[in-house]
Structure 1
Amino acid sequence: MNYLPVTFRDKKVCSLPVPSTRMGWALLIFVAVVLLYLPFLGDSLIRTADEGQRAVPPLEMLRSGDWVVPRLNAEVYLKKPPMVYWQVALFYKLFGVSEFVARISMVLCGALLCAVTYLWARGFCNNKTSVLAAVICAANAIVMFKSRECQIDIPLTLFIVLCLWAWMIALRRIAQGTKGWFGALLLGTVALAISHLYKGPVGFVFGAVAWVGTVVCLRQWSLIKNARWWSCLLMVVLSVIPVFVWAYLVIADLGWQQVMDIWLYEAELHLVKATPINSGPPWYYVERIIVCFIPWIVWAGALFMPAFWKYCKESDRHFEWAYLSGTVLFSLVFLSLNTSKETEYMLGLVAPFSILLALSSEWLCSVRGVVADERKAMTVYRRIGGSPLVLVFGVVAWIVSSWVIFPIVWHVDSKKLDPKTIATVVHDLRHNQNIPVAVHDLMGTRPYVYYYLNELYPYVNTIPEIQAWFREHPNGALLTKTDTWDYMTSAGELMPPVRRLFETSEKGNLVLVQPQ
């Protein structure tokens, strides 16, 4: 590291040791983001359905030795491909099982995502703008939140962004007629193939719209006639080969009919029967972007100004502007038209949007003084957007959020759900009192309970199966959701009189019952 002055605009504010190379800056960003996300990582319990569905199958992979077919309480669980389970299982094997270990790989992926965003921007921006792009990527609600949970979204996004970065290089070289396009295309395809192993062909959306959006924004329709352009689309199709190989191995193990029944049910659930909880109006993602990117969203106004477009063109970044803008715009259109909506679906556009916002800030800071014929409103906007207070406020606010606000919220949430306490009661019944315990209706919304049970339990799915369980085990117990049990008994189903051995809070919604 060289000791170089750190400046904001033209004023020297301090003298700190800073890297002198791109990779040095990328490493510094990686370490800084890890420190931002790491505090209190293991203090909150595994407490959401998604976390439970990602944290439990790796445990069963380690127990059974079957790394091909994911299972949840011994039930086949093919909701997602296995990459995230392999990732978490590897960390379990190396460092033991805990909430911290379940989440740490997501923190590392989030830090890598920010470092990759810096390197992507550094290919056509100065260092300060590239660092700012990484700061925006790290300091926004959705990346910060998802990087601290054991979920698919952040590692999936990392490989989608790697794909988008490589494909931008490939498409630019195709448009310029220069060499090296195929190597960049191949690297992007490998990254896309890995992303498919996390969540299926989700990466297709961002990959396809990046190509189409660039052509539309550049208005270079001749690219469509280019044979290289079509060979790129062929590579996109080939990227599904790894996930198809995994699917073949699963079918060979379980049989075609069982696998297709599971996958068709999941497809219908997400594409046809979107519930109110994962649907929303067409402007759903616009609202989320505004909230997630506070205060950086103040720079978004420049994106719609012809003067900013001209600035990008004159600074020889017109192609990059078109690629990033096309990716963000067409992704938003596609996601908004889709029936099923979730905030994490827009993660793939966070990195390109962060770079665009950093470019906007660069432009706002580059214009000095009063511009001739400029409207007063524009002058005010430039002064606000170019103020260092935006950067200072954003960094401080998100550090406080990561180190104070989020941990407090998650700790309170853990106390209300409290799956660990009821799991302890179940363990005591089974091992100390020799009372058999079955589970019912936990896989959909309460799978995190299995993490704390940490062993296999008989699963009863239907009312006749519950009745049969109590007949066969007169002193047995059943762990289920409180509202499910109340509904079954109030509906007049023939259940034996029971006593409630333990019940969580209303939010926890779990009850342990035993015949009287």
Structure 2
Amino acid sequence: MTERQKSWASLGAVWVLLLVLAALRPMAVPDEGRYGEIGRWMLQSGDWLVPRLNGIPFFHKPPLLHWVNASLMAALGAQVWVARLGPALHAGLMLLALYLSVRRMDFGAGERAESLARRAALMLGSSLAFLIGGQYINHDMLVAGWIGVAIWAFAAAFVGSDSGGRADRGPWVPRPGLALLGFAACGLGVLSKGLIGLVLPGLVLFVWLLWTRQFRKVLYLPWLRGLLLFALIAVPWFMLAERRAPGLLAYLFGDQQFNRYTATTFNNGRPWWFYVAGLFLLLFPWAFFALQPLVARGFKRPHAEPPLTPAARVWVALAWIWLVAIIGFFSVPHSKLIGYALPVMPALAFLAALGFEQGLGRWRHAERLFKALLVLAVGVALAVNLAATRYTERRGTADIAAVLACQMGPQDTVLAAGDFPYDLPFLVRLPQAMVVVQDWDHERQSAKDNWRRELFEGANFDAQAGQRLQGLDALTQAAGQAGQWLVAPNDQAVSGFERVLRGQSWTLYRSPSTQAGAGLASCRR
């Protein structure tokens, strides 16, 4: 087997492992239940323009994830593992972009680039960022993948500049094909999660071009074609959705992006060092090797590789700027989530692979150490996947969903009270939205950054869909009707309904006149 074939086999192996883990874990709440169900509902309703949660508009993020999920479900069915294919495909995109980009770098030493590219890919592919983050149903891996493609593509266009046959321009003209790929990736990044799909690649490249004294090359980008391509990808949905739901743009960009970045009233407040610690967790144990240049200054390195070429140092500068700029950007807001660090994983994996080879490249036991750490990294990912499975089983609705799916009729109504069962509609394949019972007048005055606010803010865009949000008296009315099912947390007091099953966290009830019907799915015995 050639070195190139070994590399492709390695990429394939870690991606298959990702798919296996994705198939084994139950649907987590709230994120996976929320985003998996939005994609399923989009397919079921046939409305591919307005993402909906429980039939109510959900405009927290642009729709690329939902389009991908709905398309995959149309081909393969509405299964949990299918809903994870979208993030998994983008994790594979991130891995492929890292490998191809490092492989084409000039390290001035024969097969060194191939070896380094494979090592970087294996470091990323064995990490929690890839094996766990790459199978999680939300927008983070999608935008991280496209940000990575954009940065790699533009950087390769600049580093590979040529005159294009025009002597009057000299070596300043970026390669247009790679530059256009960068513009397209920015457009898809915006469709994945909003403005960061454009802002973060722009920030990284701006600083890098200034640092490496290449900024003059920006003048020769194919701006007209690039901006047109970007606009054709990124703009149409925002225009069409704004026409359907006036106020969408102000809500998505103003409240859900700008305010979340600047305000201190949203969930998940974390200290400034949160992402620094998160990097070592997401790329454990490899991230420590990225510190090798700092550690090596005080020590002799008998096993070190030769110094980097000037061309290679340009790429190293890109990786450090990529890492510092994006982590710095996300460290500013009060609200922090570990998934926001995913866009820097390719840069960190490249630096870790380079640090490993610079520090241990000529040590005769280096490959044994690398394989041992590879086993350790995969073992950690397996343990985390198992822990996540047990955590989810204690908090999800899978136990009552299986009973509900085989007992309720197609025309029956499901009510939810006390909390919102994010995963239930997807697991049961509900044909119609649930009735969510709360004191909504009170919630509109007092609800913080939670599921209640998600629903009533979405209902502001569609009053008819908002009728699924009912007051407390809806429970009394439903208890006297046939075909009514209720799900509520175990600690929620319920009267007027008969208990069907008490699960680990949720209890299933039905109205006294309701009989088990043909069911939406066959019962499993």
Deviations 1:352-380 (A, max 9, x none): 11111111222213577xxxxxxxxxxxx
Q: How does 1:417-436 map to 2 (within 5 A)?
A: 417-427=395-405, 430-431=408-409, 436=413
Q: Secondary structure at the match of 1:280?
A: coil
Q: Which has the higher helix share?
A: 1
Q: 2:327 aligns with which of 295, 320, 332?
A: 332
Q: SS of the residue aligned with 1:46?
A: coil
Match of 1:318 in 2: 313
- Give the alignment partner of residue 452 of structure 1, picking from 420, 427, 452: 427
Alignment-derived partner of residue 149 in structure 1: 136
**Aligned counterpart for 2:260 among listed residues 235, 260, 270:** 270
**Is residue 2:124 matched to residue 1:137?**
yes
Count how many residue pairs are aligned between Structure 1 and Structure 2. Answer: 462
Q: CA 1:211–1:411 in 2, change beyond 3 Å: closer, same or farther? A: closer
Report the counterpart of residue 244 of structure 2 in structure 1. Answer: 253
Change (3 A) 1:138 1:413: same
Point out the more displaced range, 228-237 or 263-272: 228-237
Quote the Cα distance in structure 2 between the aligned partners of 1:56 and 1:189: 31
* Distance across 1 between alignment mates of 2:307 and 2:230: 33
Whether the aligned pair in 2 keeps the contact of 1:110 and 1:147 (CA below 8 Å) is: yes
Following superposition, the deviation at residue 198 of structure 1 comes to 1.2
Please give the residue correspondences for 1:335-354 in structure 2 after superposition, counting only pairs within 5 Å. Answer: 335-354=330-349
Shift in Å, 1:216: 5.0
Residue matched to 2:2: 18
Give me the whole-angstrom Cα distance separating, in 1, the residues matched to 2:149 and 2:394: 39
Secondary structure at the residue paired with 2:487? strand
> In the alignment, what sits opposite 2:29?
48
- The residue type paired with residue 127 of structure 2 is N
Of 341, 346, 355, 2:350 maps to 355
Q: Report the equivalent of 1:207.
A: 201
Identity between Structure 1 and Structure 2 (%): 18
RMSD: 3.6
**Superposed, which structure 2 residues align to 1:86-485 within 5 Å?**
86-124=67-105, 125=107, 126-173=113-160, 177-215=171-209, 217-218=211-212, 220=213, 223-224=214-215, 228=219, 239=230, 242-254=233-245, 256-257=246-247, 260-261=250-251, 264-267=254-257, 270-274=260-264, 278-304=268-294, 313-314=308-309, 316-366=311-361, 387-402=366-381, 404-427=382-405, 430-431=408-409, 436-440=413-417, 446-455=421-430, 456-460=432-436, 462-463=438-439, 465-475=470-480, 476-481=484-489, 485=492
Unaligned runs of 5+ in 2: 108-112, 163-169, 441-469, 514-525
Gaps (5+ residues) in structure 1?
A: 1-16, 369-382, 487-494
Task: Check 1:311–1:278 CA distance in 2 against 1; reply closer, same or farther (3 A cut).
Answer: farther
Contact 1:31 1:111 in 2 (8 A): no
> Quick one: distance in 1 between partners of 2:129 and 2:64?
21
Which residue does 1:36 correspond to in 2? 17
Any conservation in 2 of the 1:426–1:437 contact (CA below 8 Å)?
no
Aligned-pair distance for 1:423? 2.2
Question: 1:159-195 CA distances to partner (integer Å, 9 max, x unpaired)?
Answer: 2111111111233356982444333221111011112
Q: Distance in 2 between matches of 1:259 and 1:180?
A: 34
Q: What secondary structure sits across from 1:331 in the alignment?
A: helix
Length-normalised TM-score, structure 2: 0.77
Q: How far apart, CA to CA, are the structure 2 residues paired with 1:397 and 1:306? A: 24
Residues 54 and 341 (structure 1), Cα distance of their counterparts in 2 relative to 1, 3 Å cut? same
- Alpha-carbon distance, 1:269 to partner: 6.3
Work out whether residues 478 and 511 of structure 2, in 8 Å CA contact, stay in contact via their aligned partners in 1.
no
| TM-score computed with the length of structure 1 as normaliser | 0.78
Instruction: Kindly indicate whether the alpha-carbon contact (under 8 Å) linking 2:95 and 2:121 is maintained by their aligned counterparts in 1.
Output: yes
What SS does the corresponding residue of 1:285 show, helix, strand or coil?
Answer: helix
Deviation at 1:312, TM superposition (A): 5.5
Whether contact under 8 Å (2:29, 2:396) holds in the other structure is no
Q: CA deviation at 1:430?
A: 3.8
Judging changes above 3 Å, is the alpha-carbon distance between structure 1 residues 284 and 236 closer, same or farther for their aligned structure 2 residues? farther
From 46, 61, 64, the equivalent of 1:80 is 61
Q: Distance in 2 between matches of 1:468 and 1:232?
A: 59
